[in-house]
Amino acid sequence: MGFRFTSILTMLLCLAGVGSMKAQGNNKLPDWTIDLAKRVQIDGYAQGGFVYQHTGGLKDDDQLNKKDYNTFEMKRVFLVVGAPITDRWFAMFMHDFNGGVVHEYWTSYRFTNNKAFSAKIGQFKHAYTIENNMSPTELEAIDVCSEGVTYLAGCNDPLMGVQYGRDLGLELFGETNNGKFAYKAAVMNGQGINKKDGNSEKDFIGHLEFHPTDELNIVATGQLGRGHSINGSPYNNIGPNQDYKRNRWSAGLQYKSQTSHLSLRAEYLEGRDDDVTSRGAYVTGVLPVAPKLDLVGSYDFFNFNVKEHMDQHKAIFGLQYWFYKRCRVQLQYVYKSAALLNTPAGKEFTHCANHAIMCQMQVRLK
């Protein structure tokens, strides 16, 4: 992995040198190197800040949990490299410097003259849910996705580990009727990023969108598969190294003003791991209150195990200020009504109040 990233970084530095030499009037370079330098598109972003958290019901001397916790943190530092090889063929690479992980590497090809049919192969964000297909630079919450999306889309499922909502596979996608309808259909490993499949089964993921207007989007997504666990989970009886049925579906809508930051997004999600059902919903809105200044609010409900009443509620309220294009400062209060406590005697799901104050700065190149 390190060799691959070093090689790509070296190539980018060489391309930057090509651009510099060309700007200085050196015309002895081969035409293909100049053309390649023109085609490479470099983007990136960073997110970091400060968090203070207080969890009720805990003791300060608890070895596994802390009643009060605060820290400065660097959440993400991404380099994104895109290359339109032709007007139909595109390649993309994404690396997280903070986590030291390659998140995406894929190539796509458009088979039709319009946008009706294209194919993508490699590692990329899978199509389940609205939020999982959005960039952290677009999402309103500092802690990114809702609890339901975080769990069901595989961003942080104890059975599978942290997958960042991405997987390895093949996806067919496109849009018709002047963009009113869009679709994605994928077959994927179901094991997460930078991993081979843990079994011979594959996940099938579908995503349908209907845009009745330019500002409104209605979305339905689904996933059928059979997972292979790498860990056990406190939410069900599935242990490590087990194959289990893993199905999901969601339905939601998204409104986004074309003239301001005004937006509203809501989604219902449900999943099933063997005989355990999880379900939840969220609604998130942004209201502009002054030039470049927005109010942000969100309510999120999720039940990890419906039979065992492992429900959790989360509310977010805050402000964000866009100081330059896609760069912003965020300040948010987060309330969460449940926490999973690991104790020496075992795992216990206990309802308690969790309060957090978060602030974050986001800088993005494009």
pLDDT in tens, the chain (366 residues): 444 444 454 545 454 554 545 445 555 666 766 776 778 889 999 999 999 999 876 655 554 556 788 999 999 999 999 999 899 999 999 999 998 899 999 999 999 999 999 999 999 999 999 999 999 999 999 999 999 999 999 888 999 988 999 999 999 999 999 999 999 999 999 999 999 999 999 999 999 999 999 999 999 999 999 999 999 998 999 999 999 999 999 999 999 999 999 999 999 999 999 999 999 999 999 999 999 999 999 999 999 999 988 899 999 999 999 999 999 999 999 999 875 555 444 456 667 788 999 999 999 998
Listed in order, strand segments (DSSP E) in 144-242 are: 166-176, 181-188, 203-210, 216-224, 226-228
- Please tell me the distance from the alpha carbon of residue 358 to that of residue 47, in angstroms, as a whole number: 12
* Contact of 101 with 94, CB cutoff 8 Å: no
pTM of the model: 0.87
Per-residue CA distances from 361 to 46, 78, 141 (Å): 8, 14, 12
- Residue carrying structure tokens 């075992």: 346
- Residue carrying structure tokens 């309103």: 140
| Torsional sign, CA 205, 280, 265, 216 | positive
Give the domain ranges of the chain: 40-364
Q: DSSP 3-state helix, strand, coil percentages of the chain (rounded to 5)?
A: 10, 55, 35
pLDDT of residue 60: 56
* Contact of 207 with 221, CB cutoff 8 Å: yes
Give the architecture (CATH level 2) of 40-364: Beta Barrel (2.40)
pLDDT of residue 25: 53
pLDDT of residue 65: 58
CB within 8 A of 339, min separation 6: which ones?
55, 57, 65, 350, 351, 352, 354
- Please tell me the distance from the alpha carbon of residue 156 to that of residue 149, in angstroms, as a whole number: 9
